Amino acid sequence: MVEQEWLTAAQAMIPALVDDLAKLVNIDSGTYQPEGTDRMAQALGAWLADQGAHITFTPAGKVEDGEIGPHLVATINGGGRNRVLLIGHTDTVYRPGSVAQRPFSIDGDRAFGPGVCDMKSGLLIGLYALRLLQRFKNVPFGELTFLFNSDEEIGSPTSQFLIQEHAKLVDSVLVLEPAPGGDMAALTVGRKGLLKRRLKITGRSAHAGVEPERGAHALLALAHQIIALQALNGRWEGVTVNVGVASGGSQDNVVPDIARAEIEARAPTRRRLEAAARAIDRIASRSFIPGTRTEITGWLNDTPFEPRARSAALFGAAEEVGAALGITLYGRRTGGVSDANTAAAAGAAAILDGLGAAGGDEHNLHDEYIVLSSLAPRVALLAGLLAKLAAA
């Protein structure tokens, strides 16, 4: 059985993969550290070029909160007729100096370090699956495009167009995010969509002790809006609404003339997300307190990655490969977003996510980890899936 041969070969590659992983994890590559994400892209690009891929770097430039490093696109053709886009990200959520605080380390079957799970191990699973396919020269694979962006942790604002451009041109999209729930037997088959809103409520200041009636209390207006917004929870199945940030006022003897809030909503389908957006905007546009007005700004809007027939067929192909490897795979849906959502917005019909390593405590500097014994099965699973897609 060829899958078992791949698993044996993948296991032999793990020491080299772990060495490469240590190098990547020990690069500070937070989203707003362009020198770090550039080092990541250059290292990954060099490894892919050695495997025969054609490499391009797309500069990202600046966004509102800082500068972003380059995005890497690498393409290689294995002789098959199908086209597959593999997506991963080089950025992490961590601040400069995080590697010095928590460098790459191993304790038993776990490896630790900033970004080790989300998602530097996933990037290498993609690379080593390619190496595994190339080792079995009689097994064709299709045209593979690796797209590694540097801004996923802030919603992919500068790489969105690049992802969607490539997603429109391929037959399948595979996302190398960690295994959902840290379970090696799980793949992500659906993600909620996400929208965010920023509110700015303007009122009128006045002396709170002498003539409060002359003021228009912006914070009180916001309090009414928060109560109404939170009441949207439960209105639609699977939809959550959360006012996560609120602020306003200047001092305790002044009627506040300014208040601000940040809101997010998540929904499993586009229709429910649009319904939530309309409800949020209706509430935010109401003047609960005379003399106040609200300015609404759209911040982010990610399309849901909804289960489709072709995505189900893609998961079915992975199931067959997993069974040959002795793994009974199952699909999970999650409220978190990834670039699977970005691909879904482009109309990609066949998407499968969560093909990275098993691990946990993502975004926790001191505890983020992967399970080392998950690496070989995941490399073999991805290689087998790519071969199966080419054969189909």
- Is 144 found in the same domain as 94? yes
- Is 310 found in the same domain as 170? yes
**In the predicted structure, residue 292 carries a pLDDT above the cut 80:** yes
Gap between the Cα atoms of 21 and 38, Å rounded: 16
- Is 330 found in the same domain as 181? yes
**CATH number of domain containing 163:** 3.40.630.10
Strands of the 240-248 sheet, one edge to the other: 240-248, 258-267, 193-202, 293-302
Contacts of 340 (CB under 8 A, 6+ apart): 87, 173, 175, 177, 188, 191, 305, 351, 353
**pLDDT, mean of residues 151-159:** 94
- Is 167 found in the same domain as 63? yes
**CATH number of domain containing 236:** 3.30.70.360
3-state helix, strand and coil shares in percent for the chain, rounded to the nearest 5: 40, 30, 30
- Is 36 found in the same domain as 151? yes
- Is 182 found in the same domain as 172? yes
> In terms of residue numbers, what domain contains 239?
193-301
- Is 338 found in the same domain as 279? no
Token readout for 42 is: 């250059």
Query: 192: buried, middle or exposed (CB in 10 Å: 19+, 13-18, 0-12)?
Result: buried
Render pLDDT for 165-196 as a digit per residue (tens, 0 to 9).
999 999 999 999 999 999 999 999 999 999 99
> How does strand 79-89 pair with strand 172-175?
parallel
Q: Which of 301, 319, 344 represents a domain boundary (last residue)? A: 301
Q: Which of 267, 301, 335 represents a domain boundary (last residue)? A: 301
- pLDDT given for residue 69 in this prediction: 97
> Of 216, 184, 226, which Cα lies nearest the Cα of 318?
184
What is the overall mean pLDDT for the chain? Answer: 95
**pLDDT, mean of residues 40-53:** 97
- Is 213 found in the same domain as 346? no
The maximal CA–CA distance of the chain, rounded, in angstroms, is 86
How many domains does the structure of the chain reveal?
Answer: 2
Q: Which residues pair with 79 in a beta bridge?
A: 141
Read off the pLDDT band of 1 (50, 70, 90).
low
- Is 285 found in the same domain as 272? yes
Gap between the Cα atoms of 40 and 38, Å rounded: 5
- Is 311 found in the same domain as 291? no
Render pLDDT for 222-278 as a digit per residue (tens, 0 to 9).
999 999 999 999 999 999 999 999 999 999 999 999 999 999 999 999 999 999 999
